[in-house]
Every structure is written in C-alpha cells, then in structure tokens.
C-alpha cells in the first residue's frame, strides 16, 4: 500500500512516497508565496518502473490545487510531463 506525506520545514521540503512503510521516493520542493518549485524527483531503484514517479506527480499537483499554488517545474521529469500533457496541468503550471 502506497502513501504520501508532505514534509515542509519553513519554505523547503519534500513530498515523500512510502510503500509498505519503506520510503520509495521523493520530490524536493519549496513553497514561497504562491509558487511551489519542484527541483528533483527520485524513486529508489527497487521501486523503479512501477509508476511511483507518477504517484508523486499526482500528489504534487493535487497539493498545488488544494493550496492555490502555481508549480515551477525545474525537475526534468515534471517539466516533461507538463509539456507532454499541458491540458492536464495548465491550471497549475507557472510558465516563466
């Protein structure tokens, strides 16, 4: 069973993904004002290829929507997903 947690200390933090209580992946993020910047997505090697990066992306986007934030996708994975599926992410994508 997978679960996510958002851990913010001040302006920086992570979205953490756990599978059966083992940390399976994370996204490095910061929130400043109404901007949520995502820097890096990482999935542990033993969990690769199971869609865990997509789970992290879905949590990132839902968190942004819940908190009226715009995402700055500095992470190559997130940027690629936004670019390939703009209709799905235009409402949260801050294009600078």
44-77 tens-digit pLDDT: 999 999 999 999 999 999 999 999 999 999 999 9
4-17 tens-digit pLDDT: 999 999 899 999 99
Domain 2-88 CATH superfamily: Gcn5-related N-acetyltransferase (GNAT) (3.40.630.30)
Q: Which positions ≥6 away from 63 have C-beta within 8 Å?
A: 6, 15, 36, 69
Under a CB-based contact definition with an 8 Å cutoff, are residues 6 and 42 in contact? no
Please tell me whether residue 53 adopts helix, strand or coil conformation: helix
Provide the percentage of residues in the chain whose pLDDT is more than 70. 100
Q: Which positions ≥6 away from 29 have C-beta within 8 Å?
A: 8, 12, 13, 14, 15, 36, 37, 38, 39, 60
Q: State if pTM tops 0.75.
A: yes
């Amino acid at each position: 069973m997978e679960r996510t947690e958002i851990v913010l200390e001040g302006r920086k933090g992570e979205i953490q993904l756990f599978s059966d209580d083992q940390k399976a992946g994370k996204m490095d993020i910061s929130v400043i004002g109404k901007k949520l910047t995502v820097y890096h997505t990482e999935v542990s090697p033993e969990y690769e290829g199971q869609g865990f990066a997509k789970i992290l992306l879905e949590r990132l986007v839902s968190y942004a929507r819940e908190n009226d934030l715009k995402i700055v996708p500095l992470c190559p994975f997130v940027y690629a997903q936004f670019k390939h599926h703009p209709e799905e992410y235009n409402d949260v994508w801050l294009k600078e």
